[in-house]
Structures are given as structure tokens and as C-alpha cells.
């Protein structure tokens, strides 16, 4: 199998699964229980939080465990909106956000919030001038993703953070689900107030994630209940998943340091190989993230190529896995100004550090053959 859909999810590494199994077996007590067994679980939870904070370079009490990127993004955006609506009801985001941000903002419009959706250029990057022009007296939140999940464009997060820091009444949220472990981001230097990551995007388990919330920020919780995690995220903690995720965080940060150039080499091998194929248009900017390549093949339905490759045990995708079964045009490709033909025929190939040169070569060979066969049918 050649797996090239790593932006949808990654394969959990063996040591991560083993860590999950060990904690599930030995520390299945509830961290909130007052007996010794619960205390053991709580100590392990606190240790995991300490390690996560070190890896993220934030304070321990700024780490909140979630069920993943969708919950983290909703908690950040709706939490700010409902907690600070008396101060203002204006939010700024972009036209190319993940559905968990974009749709969360759309839902807030029904509560009387006004959302500004910043446009992007052909490379999928916003204008800093547009951002500054959009900020108003009643703006309470700016939410901009670090790395786009479909085309891999990288936003200038440090510059955005600097602009936002000039306005003490607004907060800055970053969806770093696709960036963590692949594209470095220093939250302190970028002046990020809230940041979301998701465990299954870096070989952890599904149902795990983190929202970093700076200490000076108050949020309205999405969940009410047992007051776990300082009342911000009630619910019994997924201890085994959390411990496994933190281990995955450590391993992916090591690989980011040691293998980033190798991943970039794979990216360029893939990109250059696809650009040689007649009828293929490149949607990803060359200076984008080193693990996402997005192409369009006008006239070809994406699902046909996906099923053709799937028969060869090769797996790629169309757009975000959260919306890939909706066979309409890509909102992201459209926002970049590309034609309807391209936005309806986009394919995403996404890498991990586990992929090899041999896999990329084999994929390109089979892709080219598939293109030739499908062209005959398309004529």
C-alpha cells in the first residue's frame, strides 16, 4: 500500500498504540476520583500536561486537552464569541479556513455576530493590508490557519500576530492542525493567544487534541459538567489517548528537526513529477508546506482517479476529509481565483515522514499510466 492521504489522517505508530494500551490497562482509574487509584491517573495526566507544555513552549495551565481539531477550533471561536460579545461582535477569518472554523463562524452569524472573510491571492495567502483594514473597534477575534489543509499555503502568522497585538481588545487564534510537526511555529514569538492541534494528524490517535489558551484569556465553555480542566473543558479526560498523543508530539517534533529536508525533497520530487504530466495543473504554491500537493485535472472527475488509484492500492483524496464526499467544487481552490473546471477537479496528495522516494516514484508512474487510460475515455 502507498498511503498519500496524510492530511486526512496518519497511521498511528506502533509505539503510540503500545503506550495507549499500557495506560488503558494500568491506569484506567478516573483522574477525578479521590482514591489512590484515581490519584495515580491524575499524576499521569499532570505529567502528560507538563510534557505537552514543554513541547509547545507554553505554561502547563495553558494546555487544554480536547477531542481534536474540530472541538478545539469551536471552543476557541465560540468560547471567545460568547464570553466577550458585550465588548464586540465582529470576528475576522479567511475564505480558506477548515470547515470547523469556517462553519463555526457561519453559525455565529445566526447569533448576530458579523464575520469578515478575508480573501486570498492565487497562492492562498491573505493580504496584511486587508487584515489591518478589516480590524474595527468591535473586533474581538482574528482566526487564521497556519497551513491550509487542501493546498498547503502558509500564512504569515508572526506578522499577523504582530498586527493583532497592537489591539488589546482582540484575540488571535491559529488553527495549527496541519502545521504542527511539519512547519515550525513559535507561539510566543507569533503572539498567538489560542492555538489548536490534533493528535491523529501526527501519528497519534483519533479523538485527541489540544487547545492552547493563554492565561490572560477567558472562554465560555462548550461543555458544562464536572468542571474538569479548570471548567473550560468538562468531561472525564481520555487519559490513554492523551498520553499517547503527547508521545506522538515528542516523536514528530524530533522528526521535524531531523527530517524536514527529507520531507521537502519528497515534496519536490512529487511536485516536479506531476508538473510533467500533460493536463495537470498545480494548485499548491511552491513555497507552501512540505507535505501537501494539490493538483487539478480539468475534465476528469476526482473520484474516478481516486477509485482508479485505489484499485492499485494507492490512496489520495480530493479536498478536506470533512467534506470530501461532497462532490462539488472546492471552496479553497475557488477562493484562490481558479476556474470552475479546476475547483471541481482537484486532487490532494499529502505526505508524511514515513513516505519514501520509491513510493513517490511508483505513484508517479501509476498516476501517469492512469491519466493516459482515462484520457482515452474522456475523449
Q: What is the pLDDT of residues 181-233, one digit of tens each?
A: 999 999 999 999 999 999 999 999 999 999 999 999 999 999 999 899 988 99
* Mean pLDDT, range 53-77, rounded to an integer: 98
Distances (CA, A) of 323 to 100, 203, 327: 11, 22, 9
Q: Which pLDDT score is estimated for 29? A: 87
Shared domain check, 218 and 307:
no
CATH number at residue 67: 3.40.640.10
> Of 188, 222, 250, which closes a domain?
250
Q: Which residue spans within the chain are E strands per DSSP?
A: 2-3, 63-66, 90-94, 114-118, 139-143, 171-175, 194-198, 209-213, 281-282, 292-296, 314-315, 346-350
Which stretch of 31-45, 51-65, 163-177, 294-308 has the lowest confidence by average pLDDT? 31-45
* Mean pLDDT, range 85-97, rounded to an integer: 98
Shared domain check, 118 and 54:
yes
Shared domain check, 237 and 262:
no
CATH number at residue 339: 3.90.1150.10
Shared domain check, 94 and 163:
yes
Nine-digit cell string for 236: 472525564
* Mean pLDDT, range 274-282, rounded to an integer: 94
| Domain contains 34 | yes
Which range has highest mean pLDDT (33-47, 73-87, 216-230, 325-339)? 73-87
Q: Which pLDDT score is estimated for 375? A: 72
Shared domain check, 176 and 74:
yes
> Of 250, 270, 294, which closes a domain?
250
What percent of the chain has a predicted confidence (pLDDT) above 70? 97
* Cα–Cα nearest to 94, from 135, 123, 124, 67: 124
* Mean pLDDT, range 161-182, rounded to an integer: 97
Q: Which residue spans within 297-375 are E strands per DSSP?
A: 314-315, 346-350
Which stretch of 34-43, 72-81, 108-117, 228-237 has the lowest confidence by average pLDDT? 34-43
Shared domain check, 272 and 141:
no
- Round the average pLDDT of the chain to a whole number and report it: 94
* Mean pLDDT, range 286-315, rounded to an integer: 95
* Cα separation, 375 vs 379, whole angstroms: 6
Which positions are annotated as active-site residues? 322
* Mean pLDDT, range 131-135, rounded to an integer: 98
Q: Which pLDDT score is estimated for 322? A: 52
pTM for the predicted model, two decimal places = 0.95
Q: Which pLDDT score is estimated for 377? A: 65
Shared domain check, 120 and 30:
yes
Q: Which pLDDT score is estimated for 36? A: 87
Shared domain check, 295 and 228:
no
Question: With 90 as the cut, is the pLDDT of residue 320 above it?
Answer: no
| Domain contains 379 | no
Q: Percent helix, strand and coil across the chain, each rounded to 5?
A: 45, 15, 45
Q: Which pLDDT score is estimated for 143? A: 98
Question: With 50 as the cut, is the pLDDT of residue 324 above it?
Answer: no
Shared domain check, 306 and 225:
no
Q: Which pLDDT score is estimated for 13? A: 96
* Mean pLDDT, range 53-81, rounded to an integer: 98
Question: With 70 as the cut, is the pLDDT of residue 323 above it?
Answer: no
| pLDDT band of 17, cuts 50, 70, 90 | very high
* Cα separation, 176 vs 186, whole angstroms: 11
Domain count, the chain: 2
> Of 181, 215, 250, which closes a domain?
250
Burial of 269 (0-12, 13-18, 19+ CB in 10 A): middle
Question: With 90 as the cut, is the pLDDT of residue 116 above it?
Answer: yes
| pLDDT band of 319, cuts 50, 70, 90 | low
Q: What range does the domain containing 233 cover?
A: 14-250
* Mean pLDDT, range 297-309, rounded to an integer: 93
Shared domain check, 21 and 55:
yes
Shared domain check, 339 and 236:
no
Determine contact, residues 66/233, Cβ cutoff 8 Å: yes
Shared domain check, 337 and 241:
no
Amino acid at each position: 500500500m502507498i498511503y498519500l492521504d496524510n492530511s486526512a489522517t496518519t497511521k498511528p505508530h506502533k509505539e503510540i498504540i503500545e503506550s495507549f494500551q499500557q495506560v488503558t490497562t494500568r491506569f484506567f482509574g478516573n483522574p477525578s476520583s479521590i482514591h489512590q487509584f484515581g490519584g495515580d491517573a491524575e499524576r499521569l495526566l499532570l505529567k502528560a500536561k507538563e510534557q505537552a507544555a514543554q513541547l509547545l513552549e507554553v505554561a502547563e495551565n495553558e494546555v487544554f486537552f480536547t477531542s481534536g481539531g474540530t472541538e478545539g477550533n469551536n471552543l476557541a471561536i465560540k468560547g471567545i464569541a460568547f464570553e466577550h460579545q458585550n465588548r464586540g461582535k465582529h470576528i475576522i477569518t479567511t475564505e480558506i479556513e477548515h470547515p470547523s472554523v469556517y462553519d463555526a463562524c457561519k453559525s455565529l452569524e445566526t447569533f448576530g455576530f458579523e464575520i469578515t472573510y478575508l480573501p486570498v491571492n492565487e497562492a492562498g495567502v491573505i493580504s496584511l493590508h486587508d487584515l489591518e483594514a478589516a480590524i474595527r473597534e468591535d473586533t474581538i477575534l482574528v482566526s487564521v490557519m497556519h497551513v491550509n489543509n487542501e493546498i498547503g499555503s502558509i500564512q504569515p502568522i508572526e506578522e499577523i500576530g504582530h498586527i493583532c497585538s497592537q489591539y488589546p481588545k482582540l484575540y488571535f487564534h491559529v488553527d495549527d492542525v496541519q502545521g504542527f510537526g511539519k512547519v515550525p511555529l513559535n507561539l510566543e514569538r507569533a503572539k498567538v493567544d489560542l492555538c489548536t492541534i490534533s493528535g491523529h494528524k501526527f501519528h497519534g490517535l483519533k479523538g485527541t487534541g489540544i487547545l492552547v489558551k493563554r492565561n490572560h484569556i477567558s472562554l465560555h465553555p462548550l461543555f458544562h459538567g464536572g468542571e474538569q480542566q479548570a471548567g473550560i473543558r468538562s468531561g472525564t479526560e481520555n487519559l490513554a489517548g492523551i498520553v499517547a498523543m503527547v508521545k506522538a508530539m515528542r516523536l514528530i517534533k524530533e522528526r521535524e528537526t531531523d527530517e524536514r529536508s527529507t520531507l521537502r525533497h519528497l515534496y519536490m520530487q512529487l511536485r516536479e513529477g506531476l508538473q510533467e504530466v500533460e493536463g495537470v495543473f498545480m494548485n499548491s504554491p511552491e513555497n507552501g508546506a512540505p507535505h501537501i500537493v494539490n493538483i487539478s485535472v480539468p475534465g476528469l472527475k476526482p473520484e474516478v482517479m481516486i477509485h482508479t488509484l485505489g484499485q492499485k492500492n494507492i490512496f489520495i483524496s480530493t479536498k478536506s476529509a470533512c467534506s470530501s464526499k461532497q462532490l462539488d467544487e472546492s471552496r479553497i481552490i475557488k477562493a484562490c481565483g481558479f476556474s470552475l473546471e479546476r475547483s471541481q477537479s482537484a486532487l490532494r496528495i499529502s505526505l508524511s515522514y514515513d513516505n519514501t522516494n520509491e513510493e513517490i516514484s511508483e505513484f508517479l508512474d501509476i498516476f501517469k499510466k492512469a491519466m493516459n487510460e482515462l484520457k482515452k475515455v474522456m475523449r
